[in-house]
Structure 1
Amino acid sequence: MTQPNDLLAALADIAPDSELAQARQTRDAATRHAQGSYDVLFSQADEDFPLAERFAIAAHVAEWHAQAGLQAHYQQQAEPLSDSTRHQVALAFAKRLTFAPVEAKPEHLTELQQAGWSARGVVTLSQLIAFISFQSRLLAGLLLLQGQQPTSEGPAVVAGRWHDAPQTASGKTALTAFTQHALGWEPWLAAKPLAEFTPEEHATLARFGHTDSDYFRLLARNLPLLEQRTLTDKGIFYTAGGLPRAERELAAAVVSKVNGCIFCASVHARKASQLSKEDAAVQKLLNVSPGAVLSHGQSPRWAAVIGFSASLSVTPQQASLNQITVLREHGLDTLALLDLIQSSAFFAWANRLMLTLGEPFLPTSQG
C-alpha cells in the first residue's frame, strides 16, 4: 500500500489552500520530520521487530487514544497479535506506556528482553508507542483547528502523580518533587557503546550533540528514527515567529506535570523561566500537587495555554473548540495555535521515553 506523503494532512482533510496548510508549510521542518519519523518507523526491515507487529501495536495505541481514522490506517496493514509471551508482554507494555507511563519500572524492560525482544527492539517499541501518542495528539489538534472536534471540554486537567521513591534503581538520590535545577538521568537499558557506532553514525551523533548523552546513545540503537525525531523537535521548538518560545517551553512543562516526568519538566520549566522572566509563575506550575488543577493562579493567557496543553495531554485527549476560541481571544493566531499543539504533542512522546527507559537523579553537587 502506498503511503501518503503527509498522513496527518490526509487524515485531517486539510485543504491545500487553507490557513492551516499555510501554517504547516511555515513549520515545514516539523511537518516533514513528523512524517519522516512515521516513514522510518513503518518501513524498516528489522527482523527483531517486523512491520506487521509494528502496525498491529500502532493500531492498538491509536485506538486507546480514540483516534478512529488513525487506528483504521494502521489496522489495514496489521496482522493480529498472537497469544505468545512476546506479543502479550509487548501489548501490556504498550498499554502502560499509553495510559500511565509513570508506572514504568526497570523490570518491565527485563520482561521484554526475557520474552525475546532485543535491546534495539525494546527501544524501537518504546519509540513507536511514544510516537503514536504524539501523532494522535497532533491529529487531534489539527482536527480542532478544522472545527472537527467537540466544542466542550471535560473537567480541568490536574497534575498527575510522580515517583516518590528516595533512591533510583542504582541507588542514586532520586527526585521526589519538581524542580528547575539541572538533573542527571540514568538508563535502565544499556546505552549503545560509542565503539559500536560507525564513523558516519558518530558524525550524526556529534551533529546533534548526542555523543556524550546516555539517553541519546540509548535511543541511537535505532539511529535513523532518532535523527528524524531530533529534527522534528528542532522544527517545533527552534523556529521563529508564532507562539513565543517561552510558551512552547511552558507547554512542555505542563505535559510533564500531567505525565509525572520530573526530568523533562526541570529542563523546560527552567527554559520557560529564563525566556519569560516569569519565574514565580513557572514555579507555581511546578508546585501543583497531584490531583490539583494545573492552571490555578496563573494569568488569564497562561491559564488558557496551560489548560489547553493539559487537556491535550491526557489519554484520550480532552481539548476542545471552546479552548481554541479562548486562546484566539488571547491573541493566538493559527500559526501560534499550531505551535502550541505541536509543542504539547511532542512531549507526549518525550515524556514516555524518559519515564520508560530510565529515571532522573540528583547530581552529587546538588545533594
Structure 2
Amino acid sequence: MSDTDLPVLALTTGEPAGIGPELAVVMARDMPTSARVVAVGDPALLEDRARAVGCDVTVLALAPGETPPVPRAGVLPVWPVALRAPCRPGELEARNAAYVLETLGRAVAACQAGEAAGMVTAPLHKGVIIEAGHADFRGHTEYLRDACGVDEVVMMLATDPALHAMSSTWHGETALRVALATTHLPLREVGDAVTGPRLTRILRILDAELRHRFGVLSPRILVCGLNPHAGEGGHLGREELDVIIPTLEALRAEGLTLDGPLPADTLFTPHHLARADAVLAMYHDQGLPVLKYAGFGRAANITLGLPWVRTSVDHGTALDLAGCGSADPGSLITAVSLAIEMVQRGA
C-alpha cells in the first residue's frame, strides 16, 4: 500500500476546555504511520494547547479539498472549525457547544463523502451541550445513529489485549468487549427499554460486526440478565422470563451463539469470560465499571452498526487536568489503533 492509499481517519478534538485538544497534539508526536489521521477543530486552539503542555508539534491547517499528507511524527493535519468563543482550559463556555457539534458534523460529512474511512472522537461534555439549548442530545452514540439515519447502533467498549499480559487484575488473554443494550438512560427507564425488538436488533448487529470488523468467525456472546440473579426464576423480576429468554431462543434458532441470561455478578469472572467473544450488558453501569476496572485508560469505545468505523476514548473531558500536561493519551492511542485495524479488516 502506497502512502497516498493509506486510510484517512477524522479525529474530532472534543470539548475545547477539556483534555481532548492536548491529547490530539500529544498523540501527534508519535503519529501512527498506517493511516492519515486528520484532526477536526480550531488550529489556533490546538497550537495554544500544544504550547501550554510543552508539546513540539506542527499544526497543519488543510484547505478545502486538500489531500491529507502522508503521516509524519510531530505533524497534526487539521480540518479547521472555528471556536465560537474564547476558551480557557477547564472552563466550560456554552457558546462553544455549537463548535463541538460542528466538529462532529464535519467528521460525519467526511465519512459520508468518502474523504475518511472512519472517525475517532475525543470526549465532549454532554451537560454543556444540553444547557446550550440542545435538550435532546445524549452523546456521540445517539448523535451518530441519527446523523446516519440508521435504526439502531450498538455501544461497545473493548480493552487493549496488550494490557492483559501486564495486569494482575485481569486473567484473560484476549480483549474484553462489553456491549450495551441501553446506553445513556436514567436507571428508572431501563426496564421499559429492554424489549424483544431492541435486543434482537442489537444482538444481530453485535454478531455481524464481531465477524466483519473483528474477524471472529463464530462469535459467542454472553448476555446479562437485567435483575439481580437474572430474576431468580421470576421472583426478582420477570424481564428475563418474559423478554430476554424468548428473544435469545429465537436468535439461537437463527444461528447466533448466545449464553444467558446470566447473573451479572458472576458473569464477569474468568470462568465465563474465557469462552466469550463479547458480553451484552443490559445497561451502562452494569457492564462498564467492570471493563474500566480491567483496562481504564487503555480501552476504546466503539459504535457498531454505522456505515463506517467509529471509535472513541474510554474517559471524559477531565476539565481539572486540561492544560496541565498530565493527561494520559493511552486511550486515544488505543482508539486510533483499533480504528485502523477495523478499517483494514473491513475493507
Q: Same fold (TM over 0.5)?
A: no
Length-normalised TM-score, structure 2: 0.30
The answer to which structure has the higher strand fraction is 2
The answer to which structure has the higher helix fraction is 1
Higher relative contact order by CA 8 Å / sep ≥ 6: 1 or 2?
1
Length-normalised TM-score, structure 1: 0.28
